[in-house]
Chain A
Amino acid sequence: MSQLLLETPLVGWHVAHGGRMVDFAGWRMPVQYASIVEEHLATRRAAGIFDVSHMGRLAISGTAAVEWLESLLTRKVAGIEVGRVRYTLITSDAGGQPVVLDDALVSRDTDAADGTTRLALVCNASNRDRVVAWLTSRLPAAGVTFADRTLETAMIAVQGPLAMQIVGSLCTPADAARIAGLGNYRATSAVVAGHAAAVSRTGYTGEDGVELVVDAAAATPVWEAIHAAGAPLGLRACGLGARDTLRLEAGMPLYGHELREDSDPSAIGLDLAVNLEGRSFPGAGHYCGLRNHPAGRVRVGLTFDSKRSAREGDAVMQGDRQVGVVTSGSFAPTLGTAVAMAMVDRDVASPGTAVEGVIRDSRQPAVVAPLPFYQRDKRRA
């Protein structure tokens, strides 16, 4: 470890509870506490609590804030209502060729007391520095205030069928009811375990749940309160390992794997993240062209009949022809078998198509499968 790692306000808790700490995107994070499989299954069956404070949290405010973000993000920001959260890409054309810098959530917070519009952007830890640099380079002379709040706040995800019940039990009845009534991709503010929190009904696991942003000083008490309330119901603390297997089963792309600088969003199934109508974000014309002229490989799921998975970078073959490359792969604990996501040629992208994953020096049969691999039973909620 040659350079100093950033630490979240919860690092002491992780270490004290057996977290195996690794360098993730410059942060010292728990990859697991005991078993990735047990943490994964606890999230599916009851709930999991995740420290996601490494994610970038950027605050944007001012009279021109909406207009400014509207000019930069692939999703519409103009007209965004208070409490709305949108999944977006951040693109740049600084180098001539448009690139996808990151994927992110943009949301509109309650206006400040003086009426100032406030928005928030949550981006990936691995891309925070360049996203901040890019946005800073595009700041207008006036009307927008932009601040990186990552280090002064913490972000805690509570995910799973019991997540809402557990978080609600730590709120006043009025706040609990408001949180329970949040639609997906909606946000509000509430007091959770005695601390002010921004609460959004979002996540990266395929389960119901919320993500909370609190002041750094409130992180450990809020985490401990949720853990104490949830543990008797089966909640477990989960590391980044389970977060990755959960999002893989849920078919969610991860920047640097499925989603890359040169990605065609349409080809990875992210048309909904790119609103092209009347838009002029960086590269809008380029992405419009890609949508109108589909070409290149597309993202698919692969299911294996073994527990042994192809991993990122492994070739996907059909006979002697390489038809694709794996972008993420793992044993999927909920399914009991190995799955992967891959970019493959369009002629083999139909579900049911038989291919093979090249795992080291052997070939493992796989079948193209629709994404997501796992979908929660929404009637349960």
Chain B
Amino acid sequence: MAADLKFAKTHEWVRPEADGVLTVGVSSYAVEALTDLVFMQLPAVGRKVKAGESFGEIESVKAVSDLYAPVSGEIVEVNAALPGNLETLGKDPYGDGWVVRIKADNPAEMDGLLDRAAYDSLVGSQPH
């Protein structure tokens, strides 16, 4: 897996792309913890989000979870194929399972996110 991923404590991952836009998805840990996904709601393209704000939701048989924006910015693209193919989230969470692309207002907000090692240690210490 690419080492350039950053993670939010709320289990979203972020990858800076060559064009400066950030790709955002859900960590494999979170997908596995949710299990039995049945529904996903994506935001409208063009929506402005603030870091920490809910931009969508993902629902499993047991519960509904919010998806939180890891950084502030504008949603410039959504993975429209995903809600109809939720198994992609489990099969390829860091590739085809991407959720949205965000054009960040302030790329320095990335510095507040966790690197892979820090995220692994965070989820490793949580009850599975």
Chain B 32-70 per-residue mask, 1 if CB under 8 angstroms from chain A, else 0: 000110110000000000000000010111101000000
Is there an interface contact between A330 and B61, defined as CB atoms closer than 8 Å?
A: yes
What residues of chain B lie closer than 8 Å to A34, measured between beta carbons? 35
Report the bound CA distance from A21 to B127 in whole Å. Answer: 9
Of A102-110, A155-163, A305-313, the one touching chain B: A305-313
Report the bound CA distance from A37 to B59 in whole Å. Answer: 13
Report the bound CA distance from A245 to B60 in whole Å. Answer: 12
Is there an interface contact between A308 and B128, defined as CB atoms closer than 8 Å?
A: no
What residues of chain A lie closer than 8 Å to B62, measured between beta carbons? 31-32, 36, 241, 330
What residues of chain A lie closer than 8 Å to B39, measured between beta carbons? 306-308, 331
A333 adjacent to chain B (CB < 8 Å) = yes
Is there an interface contact between A35 and B38, defined as CB atoms closer than 8 Å?
A: no
What residues of chain B lie closer than 8 Å to A17, measured between beta carbons? none
Find residues 234-259 in chain A having any chain B CB closer than 8 Å to their own CB. Answer: 241, 245
Minimum C-beta distance from B77 to chain A (A): 22
Candidate in A20, A31, A32, A331 with the most chain B CB atoms within 10 angstroms: A331
Find residues 327-353 in chain A having any chain B CB closer than 8 Å to their own CB. Answer: 330-331, 333, 338
- Size bracket of the B interface: 10 to 19
Is there an interface contact between B35 and A333, defined as CB atoms closer than 8 Å?
A: no
Is there an interface contact between A307 and B38, defined as CB atoms closer than 8 Å?
A: yes
What residues of chain B lie closer than 8 Å to A21, measured between beta carbons? 127
What residues of chain A lie closer than 8 Å to B128, measured between beta carbons? 20
Report the bound CA distance from A36 to B35 in whole Å. Answer: 8
Report the bound CA distance from A309 to B59 in whole Å. Answer: 9
A39 to chain B: closest residue by CB = B36
Report the bound CA distance from A20 to B59 in whole Å. Answer: 18
What residues of chain B lie closer than 8 Å to A308, measured between beta carbons? 38-39, 59
A360 adjacent to chain B (CB < 8 Å) = yes
Is there an interface contact between B61 and A37, defined as CB atoms closer than 8 Å?
A: yes
Chain B 106-128 per-residue mask, 1 if CB under 8 angstroms from chain A, else 0: 00000000000000000000011
What residues of chain B lie closer than 8 Å to A360, measured between beta carbons? 57, 64
What residues of chain B lie closer than 8 Å to A307, measured between beta carbons? 38-39
Report the bound CA distance from A295 to B41 in whole Å. Answer: 39
Find residues 256-311 in chain A having any chain B CB closer than 8 Å to their own CB. Answer: 306-309, 311
Report the bound CA distance from A241 to B127 in whole Å. Answer: 18
Find residues 1-46 in chain A having any chain B CB closer than 8 Å to their own CB. Answer: 20-21, 31-32, 34-37
What residues of chain B lie closer than 8 Å to A37, measured between beta carbons? 36, 61
Contact for A331 among B35, B61, B127, CB less than 8 A: B61
- Extra pairs beyond A36-B61, A306-B39, A307-B38 (17, CB < 8 Å): A20-B128, A32-B62, A34-B35, A35-B36, A36-B35, A36-B36, A36-B62, A37-B61, A245-B61, A307-B39, A308-B38, A308-B39, A308-B59, A309-B38, A309-B59, A338-B38, A360-B64
**6 interchain pairs (CB within 8 A)?**
A20-B128, A36-B35, A37-B36, A308-B59, A330-B61, A360-B57
Interface residues of B (CB under 8 A from A): 35-36, 38-39, 57, 59-62, 64, 127-128
